[in-house]
Amino acid sequence: MPNPLPSPTRAMYGFVLYIISAVVFGIYLVWAYCPSDWLESIGIDYFPQKYWSVVAPIYFASLFLFVLALYAGYSLVLTPDLSSPNTMQDNHSFPPLEAPFGVRLTSGSMHASLPAAAIPHIGDIPVHQVNALLYRERLAASASSREA
């Protein structure tokens, strides 16, 4: 597994990228704010029009916002419908080894190796057990009203 901590090589690359970005930003500021006559007098005569000093950042900001909106839209396209069974269970879901609130699950108890005070592993609670937890009182009340 890769280590996320900064190594000396990563630190060196980060420092070089920082220096390069600071130099490029400084060149951009000189090009954007200094008059063209002054730049030509010091020997810099090949540079883009000043129009691009305003338009290029706007294009990049617009592109960034467009990519964010495109990413959000793509995520919505990949989300299954609410009526799809995949919203409740798919091949990546697994039942928890112990249920909350004292509800017994049908899966085998694999927590035998954990100490008593340990936090159980995370898992997906099946929908029928969620409904039993959320609507237990409502179901009992409707059943008793039907009996009466």
| Ordered DSSP codes for 74-132 | HHHHHSPPTTSGGGT--TT----SS-GGGPPPSS---GGGS-TTSPPPP-PPPHHHHHH
**Chain centroid to CA 10: how far?**
24
100-135 residue pLDDT tens: 555 444 444 454 566 667 776 777 777 777 788 888
Distance CA 36, CA 51 (A): 12
For residue 103, the model assigns a pLDDT of: 47
For residue 114, the model assigns a pLDDT of: 61
How confident is residue 58, by pLDDT bands cut at 50, 70 and 90?
very high
